[in-house]
Amino acid sequence: MQIKVLLGSLVLAALCGCQSPGKDLVKDNFTFSGSQLSYALTCADSALAANPGNQWGFPRLIPRTEEKDGSLRLVSSHDWCCGFFPANLWLMYEYTGEEKWKQAADRFSWSIEDAKFNAGSHDLGFMIYCPFGNAYRITGDDRYKEVALQAAKTLSTRYNPAVGCIRSWDFNKQRWQYPVIIDNMMNLELLFWATQTTGDSIYHKMAVSHADRTLENHFRPDHSSYHVINYDTITGSVISKETLQGYSHESVWSRGQAWGLYGFAMSYRFTNDPKYLTLSRNIADLMLNHPLLPEDMIPYWDMSDPAIPNVPRDVSAACIMASGLYELSKALPIDGSKYKAAADRILQNLSDGYRAEVGTHKGFLLLHSTGNHPSGDEVDVPISYADYYYLEALLRKY
């Protein structure tokens, strides 16, 4: 009888994603991350000393990924991923309180400060709010706040009242009049925060309009998302619905679903609008109950790829999902436990099967992310934003 009870407890622990007795998942992963990020700083400094050149006329300063040849890809302050590495250092500082992480985070953050004026990008939330917003939240230093507020002002210039959205890409103008991508939900946090911080409602109104239009037009009846909605700039009507970085226009591109899950849970935090919470929950249910979701819950890069299971995973999608699921669970106090349990399982499985060995892969934390599969770029590699949402999810679990 005692053996049956013990076996039953072990099965329940496995199903719930519970940690092994005595193992502190969060502490273990931050200890690992501290060692690995120390190595990352060494690799970054070595690459910088080698004069890596420019990107779009700006110096390459920030680690983004490891190239297939094992070299470190550095990007400039105008790359949409530039904010994640310094933000990772800020999260390390938040957890440890160690001054060395603050100094490193400060150094890399200020190296990309000029992005706050980059009116050519819709990704200023990623680029500026992740490092400087976290820095302000953690330290209370107004210098960081002012940088993030300028970024919000800059981002607001990309808003078109006829469309009701922040414009995403400026390229391929012969193909799209006004493209809006699901990823852009994440950058609304910068606008919501700007109103919360300044009292100026204009940013909040823009963010709500963008979220409402995205809810209205991006999603299919099963709650899966298109990647790109192309709007008419005069009438604001939808011209086309597409998916650029997924398998096909109608496919379930995993990172896109993760952006939506997280983005609408975050939007609920700032608005208390139940329709955002409902959509986030529906996206979560779609992904967690998808018949092709692997047993370890780390999704394939696109859940509609007909070559499954012989296709790459996307660890970055799993990390974004985990962090978003923690936020969703907190917004659902009555029945949010299943979403927390799912996030716990994802984190445990990432920790068990996807971490890099310390002192390898240029200091990145997690392996097997997929960036832009159709273009063959960043396929089955470590990527800085996977590491960021991994650390954020660990802090949310903590």
Which domain covers residue 354, as residue numbers? 24-397
Structural domain includes residue 12: no
* pLDDT value at residue 398: 80
* pLDDT value at residue 19: 40
Task: Give the β-pairing of 72-75 and 159-160.
Answer: unpaired
Q: Which two tokens stand for residue 358?
A: 């310390």
How many whole angstroms separate alpha carbon 23 and alpha carbon 26? 9
Please tell me which residue in 123, 302, 314, 344 is annotated as part of the active site: 123
How many whole angstroms separate alpha carbon 33 and alpha carbon 222? 37
DSSP 129: I
How many whole angstroms separate alpha carbon 187 and alpha carbon 79? 15
Mean pLDDT of 123-128: 98
How many whole angstroms separate alpha carbon 155 and alpha carbon 191? 8
Q: Tell me: the pLDDT tens digits for 348-379?
A: 999 999 999 999 999 999 999 999 999 999 99
* pLDDT value at residue 124: 98
Q: Is 335 a catalytic residue?
A: no
Rounded to 5 degrees, φ, ψ at 5 are -65, -45
* pLDDT value at residue 359: 98
* pLDDT value at residue 20: 42
Band of the pLDDT at 333, cuts 50, 70, 90? confident
Q: Which helix (H) or strand (E) holds 54?
A: strand 54-55
SS3 (DSSP) at 363:
helix
How many whole angstroms separate alpha carbon 95 and alpha carbon 157? 35
Mention every residue, 6+ apart, whose C-beta is less than 8 A from residue 308.
292, 300
Structural domain includes residue 31: yes
- Tell whether the model's pLDDT for residue 9 goes beyond 50: no
- Tell whether the model's pLDDT for residue 340 goes beyond 90: yes
Determine contact, residues 303/254, Cβ cutoff 8 Å: yes
- Tell whether the model's pLDDT for residue 318 goes beyond 70: yes
- Tell whether the model's pLDDT for residue 12 goes beyond 80: no
Please tell me which residue in 79, 183, 305, 314 is annotated as part of the active site: 183
Structural domain includes residue 174: yes
How many whole angstroms separate alpha carbon 325 and alpha carbon 321? 6
Q: Which two tokens stand for residue 210?
A: 């963008």
pTM score over 0.85 = yes
Structural domain includes residue 7: no
| pLDDT: which is higher, 235 or 21 | 235
Mean pLDDT of 15-22: 37
Structural domain includes residue 9: no
Q: Tell me: the pLDDT tens digits for 128-140?
A: 999 999 999 999 9
CATH no. for residue 293? 1.50.10.10
Q: Is 123 a catalytic residue?
A: yes
- Tell whether the model's pLDDT for residue 13 goes beyond 80: no
- How far apart, in Å, are the Cα atoms of 243 and each of 225, 226, 316? 9, 6, 18
* pLDDT value at residue 149: 98
**How many domains does the structure of the chain reveal?**
1
Structural domain includes residue 16: no
Band of the pLDDT at 23, cuts 50, 70, 90? low
Structural domain includes residue 118: yes
Mean pLDDT of 245-272: 98
Mean pLDDT of 381-393: 98
Rounded to 5 degrees, φ, ψ at 20 are -65, 150
State the average pLDDT for the chain.
Answer: 94
Structural domain includes residue 382: yes
Mean pLDDT of 293-305: 98
